[in-house]
């Protein structure tokens, strides 16, 4: 069996395993690379060389930059701002959400865009009195279209640009994709606006997304956070040392508790010692008088109805937790204003009412309202002694305003885009600079950076690069290309592009668009060369067709992300998806030869 035939057998087996969908796509890619090595189509170095390709480094960096934008609240803020501005009219809402999805798809990837806008879209649909299904599918499709606006929009763009660079010494420009991506985004918005009401099934959602956009106000009302408390440090030598905490009580000031340097709490009638924290509730004037008289330091001021921005900000948030049965907290006396780790207890609720500024022996079912840095709030999900009532991440996405981290993240994005657009350095280095700055500026932690990377995507690309190389080097690409060229002989370059579009789209509905483009690219280039069509239009056509993942939910993760919240079934995507695919087909085949020649 010739090398060309062997590589086609490996290709067919790889595609079959992808369609079978019983193995992770990363494992299939690794099996493909090993099969190429075992059959002698590639040597050991080439079999693993894909994992060290600059394209892989570039993609890893982009994942981290996208995580910075998401973790800093930029994406959530953008969605909330849009919903507030466009109101509840369905047409305006759909146009606004699809436009934002496309923009975010360009800079946060389509999957990140769909994930970030999912809760926002569901909440907006509920307020507008429409089913989420009528908005979520258009949002996912628009996110895929937005990926074609810039080079970093998706791995597909990076793959075709890298292939063009290898052939010509110059890849596609950072914003060059927008020449075709812009028109595609516009037609996607128009088709979704015209067809979503009729072509998308109106189903009830399988998964419910809570509307927590007014969460702070709800908690303020529920726990009657009116006065709050002051935490005052009693330094060594203060006149209060040796006295009991209640000695400062007045008609306008109520001592709540003491907290020792080791974190232990004590009732307000205990004796104060050096470096204790005295917790008071009362009028600011009277508390200030006590502070000045006894030489105390203010550690924190009240968090109340009058300061909602301090209750929930970019840096800190609130969490409502319940004390479950068999918790170690049952029977423990706690006091508002005391801290445990980085979290401060604001108040205790029992039977739907706040216990106010007093100590409480905790019972099963008591509610605790806690405040602290977001990292500490998120850690409560792993705490066995309390149960979180609402997802802190969802609260943050729907409520937190832009803060310092968000502006830093936007600055890092601007630097990364500038490096990519100007070509001062390679794309891989540009992405690494962006990722490094996200960590150095503490927009994200190293752990968040590692977690942000879709390692399945990395393994998929690294494992399939050898297959792409083998298809080209073994002559298999030429064999298939000859068949394609024979089919379109004497018909012109647009017919060749049309056929390549159809092949790519069909394969891309069952196989990830990344894998599809890696497989199709060498075949398309060979067909283009044989038919006298340049590599630029062929590769851009493949990129567009690869992004046209609209017919099935498994075609792209963005489609899967919205499936449960939209209540969609497997066969619900093809109606709107087919119309959109046909429109993309017309636009791509008509414009690409005009823009990039033939």
Q: Pick 415 or 245 by higher pLDDT.
A: 415
Q: Which CATH number fits domain 315-389: 3.40.50.300, 3.30.70.1450, 3.30.870.10, 3.40.50.150?
A: 3.30.70.1450
Q: Residue 320 has what DSSP assignment?
A: E
Beta strand pairing status for 339-340 and 333-334? unpaired
Residue 340 class from Cβ within 10 Å (0-12 exposed, 13-18 middle, 19+ buried)? Answer: middle
Q: Pick 529 or 79 by higher pLDDT.
A: 529
Mean pLDDT computed over 368-386: 86
Q: Pick 92 or 226 by higher pLDDT.
A: 92
pLDDT-based confidence at 384, cuts 50/70/90?
Answer: confident
DSSP 3-state assignment of 234? strand
Q: Give how far Cα 225 sits from Cα of 218, 336, 421, Å.
A: 11, 12, 50
Mean pLDDT computed over 477-485: 78
User: What CATH superfamily is the domain 229-300?
Assistant: Regulator of K+ conductance, C-terminal domain (3.30.70.1450)
Mean of all residue pLDDT scores within the chain: 84
Q: Indicate whether 376 pLDDT > 60.
A: yes
DSSP 3-state assignment of 300? strand
Q: State the angle between helix axes of 74-86 and 54-71 in degrees (0 to 180), rounded to the nearest 10.
A: 60
Rounded distance between C-alpha atoms, residue 163 and residue 150, angstroms: 16
User: What does the buried/exposed string (b/e) look like for 504-540 if buried means 16 or more CB atoms within 10 Å of the residue's CB?
Assistant: bbebbbbbbbbbbbbbbbbbbbbbbbbbebbbbbbbb
Q: Could you please report the per-residue DSSP string of 109-125?
A: HHHHHHHHHHHHHHHHH
Mean pLDDT computed over 253-260: 88
Mean pLDDT computed over 381-402: 77
Q: Indicate whether 308 pLDDT > 80.
A: no
Rounded distance between C-alpha atoms, residue 262 and residue 265, angstroms: 9
Position 209 scores a pLDDT of 59
Q: Is 274 left (phi over 0), alpha (psi -120 to 50) or beta?
A: beta
Q: Pick 305 or 348 by higher pLDDT.
A: 348
Rounded distance between C-alpha atoms, residue 593 and residue 82, angstroms: 36
| CB-CB contact of 211 with 399 (8 Å) | no
Tracing tokens 């950072």 back to the chain, one arrives at: 174
3-state secondary structure labels for all residues of 257-279: EEECCCCCEECCCCECCCCEEEE
Q: Pick 303 or 350 by higher pLDDT.
A: 350
pLDDT-based confidence at 544, cuts 50/70/90?
Answer: very high
Position 109 scores a pLDDT of 78
Q: Indicate whether 578 pLDDT > 90.
A: yes
The token duo for 92 is 């305006």
Residues 189-207: tens digit of each pLDDT: 999 999 888 888 887 775 5
Q: How far apart are the first and last CA of the chain?
A: 36
User: 349-353, 395-399, 551-555, 571-575: lowest mean pLDDT where?
Assistant: 395-399
User: Residues of the chain with pLDDT > 70: what percent?
Assistant: 94
Residues 108-137: tens digit of each pLDDT: 778 778 877 877 788 788 777 888 889 999
Tracing tokens 């028109």 back to the chain, one arrives at: 183
Q: Please tell me which of 216-220, 364-368, 517-521 the model is most confident about, judged by mean pLDDT.
A: 364-368
DSSP 3-state assignment of 346? strand
Of 307, 255, 303, residue with least CA distance to 276: 255
Q: Indicate whether 213 pLDDT > 70.
A: no
The token duo for 447 is 């752990």
Rounded distance between C-alpha atoms, residue 378 and residue 374, angstroms: 6
Tracing tokens 């657009």 back to the chain, one arrives at: 421
Position 511 scores a pLDDT of 67
Question: Can you name the residues that pair with 232 across neighbouring β-strands?
Answer: 278, 298
**In sequence order, what are the residues at sequence separation of 6 or more whose Cβ sits closer than 8 angstroms to the Cβ of residue 338?**
257, 259, 265, 279, 344, 345
User: Residues of the chain with pLDDT > 90: what percent?
Assistant: 21
For CATH 3.30.70.1450, the residue range(s) in the chain are 229-300, 315-389
Position 207 scores a pLDDT of 56
Q: Indicate whether 161 pLDDT > 80.
A: yes
- Calculate ∠ Cα 399-403-404, nearest 5°: 160
Q: Residue 151 has what DSSP assignment?
A: G
Which H helix or E strand runs over 253?
Answer: strand 253-259
| CB-CB contact of 23 with 458 (8 Å) | no
Q: Give how far Cα 511 sits from Cα of 356, 418, 425, Å.
A: 58, 33, 33
Which H helix or E strand runs over 379?
Answer: helix 374-379
Residues 25-59: tens digit of each pLDDT: 788 889 989 999 999 988 888 888 888 888 788 87
pLDDT-based confidence at 490, cuts 50/70/90?
Answer: low
| CB-CB contact of 128 with 89 (8 Å) | yes
């Amino acid at each position: 069996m010739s090398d060309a035939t062997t590589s086609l057998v490996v290709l067919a087996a790889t595609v079959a395993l992808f369609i079978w969908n019983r193995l992770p796509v990363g494992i299939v890619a690794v099996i493909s690379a090993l099969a190429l090595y075992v059959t002698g189509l590639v040597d050991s170095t080439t079999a693993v060389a894909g994992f060290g390709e600059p394209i892989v480094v570039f993609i890893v960096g982009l994942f981290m930059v996208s995580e910075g934008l998401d973790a800093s609240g930029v994406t959530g803020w953008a969605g909330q701002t849009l919903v507030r501005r466009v109101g509840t009219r369905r047409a305006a809402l759909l146009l606004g959400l699809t436009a934002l999805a496309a923009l975010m798809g360009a800079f946060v990837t389509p999957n990140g865009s769909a994930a970030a806008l999912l809760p926002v879209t569901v909440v907006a649909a509920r307020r507008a009195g429409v089913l989420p299904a009528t908005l979520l599918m258009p949002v996912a499709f628009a996110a895929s279209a937005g990926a074609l606006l810039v080079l970093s929009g998706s791995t597909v763009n990076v793959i075709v640009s890298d292939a063009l660079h290898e052939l010509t010494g110059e890849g596609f420009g950072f914003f060059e994709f927008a020449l075709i991506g812009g028109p595609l985004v516009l037609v996607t918005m128009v088709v979704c606006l015209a067809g979503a009401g009729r072509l998308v099934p109106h189903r009830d959602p399988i998964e419910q997304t809570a509307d927590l956009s007014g969460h702070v106000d709800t908690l303020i009302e529920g726990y009657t956070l009116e006065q709050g408390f002051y935490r005052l440090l009693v330094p060594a030598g203060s006149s209060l040392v040796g006295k009991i905490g209640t000695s400062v009580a007045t008609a306008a000031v109520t001592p709540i508790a003491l907290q020792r340097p080791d974190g232990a709490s004590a009732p307000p009638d205990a004796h104060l010692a050096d470096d204790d924290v005295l917790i008071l509730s009362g009028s600011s004037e009277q508390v200030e008088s006590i502070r000045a008289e006894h030489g105390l330091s203010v550690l924190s001021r009240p968090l109340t109805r009058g300061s909602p921005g301090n209750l929930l900000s970019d840096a800190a948030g609130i969490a409502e937790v319940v004390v479950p049965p068999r918790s170690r907290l049952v029977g423990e006396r706690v006091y508002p204003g005391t801290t445990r780790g980085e979290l401060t207890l604001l108040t205790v609720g029992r039977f739907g009412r706040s216990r106010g500024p007093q100590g409480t022996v905790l019972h099963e079912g008591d509610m605790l309202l806690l405040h602290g840095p977001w990292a500490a709030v998120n850690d409560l999900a792993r705490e066995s002694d309390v149960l979180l009532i609402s997802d802190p991440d969802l609260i943050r996405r729907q409520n937190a305003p832009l803060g310092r981290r968000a502006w830093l993240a936007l600055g890092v994005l601007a630097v990364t885009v500038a490096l990519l657009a100007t070509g001062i350095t390679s794309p891989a280095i540009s992405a690494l600079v962006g990722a490094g700055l996200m960590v150095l500026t503490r927009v994200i932690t190293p752990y968040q950076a590692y977690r942000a990377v879709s390692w399945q995507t990395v393994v998929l690309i690294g494992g399939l690069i050898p297959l792409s190389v083998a298809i080209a080097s073994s002559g298999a690409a030429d064999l298939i290309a000859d068949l394609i060229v024979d089919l379109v002989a004497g018909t012109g370059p647009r017919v060749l592009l049309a056929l390549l579009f159809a092949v790519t789209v069909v394969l891309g509905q069952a196989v990830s668009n990344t894998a599809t483009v890696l497989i199709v690219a060498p075949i398309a280039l060979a067909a283009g060369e044989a038919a006298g069509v340049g590599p630029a239009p062929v590769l851009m056509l493949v990129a567009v067709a690869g992004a046209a993942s609209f017919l099935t939910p498994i075609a792209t993760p963005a489609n899967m992300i919205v499936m449960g919240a939209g209540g969609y079934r497997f066969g619900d995507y093809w109606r709107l998806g087919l119309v959109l695919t046909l429109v993309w087909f017309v636009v791509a085949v008509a414009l690409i030869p005009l823009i990039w020649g033939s």
